[in-house]
Amino acid sequence: MDDDLRDLLRLMVVARRLDEECVALQRQGVLPAYAPALGQEAAQVGSAAALDLERDFAFPTYRELGAAVAMGVDPVAYLATHLNIWHGGLYDPSATHLAPFNAVVGGPVTHAVGWAMGAQLDGTGGAAITYFGDGASSQGDVHEAMNFAGVYRLPVVFFCQSNGWAISVPTDQQVAGGSVAARAAGYGIEGQQVDGNDVTAVREATRDALQRARAGGGPTVIEAITYRMGPHSTSDDPRRYRSTEDERAWAERDPIARTASSLPAEALSSAEEHAEAVVRETGERLRALPPPPGDELFSFVYREPTAPLLDQQRAWKESQHA
């Protein structure tokens, strides 16, 4: 059990230190923007650790660095998306079973349901997990996806990281009924809340939901109650809409400190040492990535380029030689 918890702690610490490095890189102008996940490491690592990477598939938002780490995705290949190096990052979604992350609020939810229907039809036995926040749960696409999945009993887990805020709007002001998990009953599917700062509780709840989905038991909504300890994005200032008292109260429930408290002291220091090496290498490799070719501005826009697009491309090429 200790070895298992050590592995989860190591993944969580790597996720946090990489997250902090990404914020620093954004401040230095290396990354144009970034959405921090500070405080949500247990929810992300615990849920992703429950996946069977031979047959399940994950559909992330723009804030799932911890899930990518837990799934073994190269962090440089994942974070390359922020640099626009290539469409959907440099990693292979078909090999990693992690879809390109989606910046559309609620966007990955419909994609996961579509994939789950495909898995049901081809009989591969896999299940999908889709990530979204409590703010995204109010999107119409999310309700349509849950309804569709409920009707067809699709193998999908709707994993909501209820982090307290829909950007600057508190959950209790934008989720009717006070619970995302309670909405599952309206679609005839399973729904439950879990302590999103307890990594083992998250993993077990997700594992049970995935097993039920693979066995034909239909979808599950899991609402992981956690807290976004940082800003919504690097352009956000949470001090404008929440109190320091609230932040301090949640800091005492820090998921990494909570996990480390169940292990010998050297477990955390070992995890920190490992994370330091990962962060150093990731930063160096990210900085070394070449910028994308400029002519890609005009690629993949239309199957057959339009005359205005070709005119723009010609003007751009001429400007390069001016």
Q: Which of 241, 280, 287, 314 is catalytic?
A: 241
Sheet of strand 190-195: strand arrangement: 57-59, 128-133, 156-162, 220-225, 190-195
Q: What string of DSSP letters covers 34-47?
A: ----TT-HHHHHHH
Q: Which of 10, 97, 111, 228 is catalytic?
A: 228
CA distance 201 to 180: 18
Is 63 one of the catalytic residues? no
Q: What type of residue is 188?
A: G
- What's the CA dihedral at 60, 65, 71, 72 to 10 degrees? 140
Strands 165-166 and 169-170: antiparallel
Residue 156 · residue 184 · CB < 8 Å = no
Is 321 one of the catalytic residues? no
CA distance 50 to 157: 11
Residue 269 · residue 13 · CB < 8 Å = no
Q: Which of 17, 111, 203, 232 is catalytic?
A: 232
Instruction: Classify residue 308 by burial, with Cβ atoms within 10 Å: 0-12, 13-18, 19+.
Output: exposed
Residue 101 · residue 61 · CB < 8 Å = yes
192's enclosing H/E stretch is strand 190-195
Is 302 one of the catalytic residues? no
Active site residues: 228, 232, 241
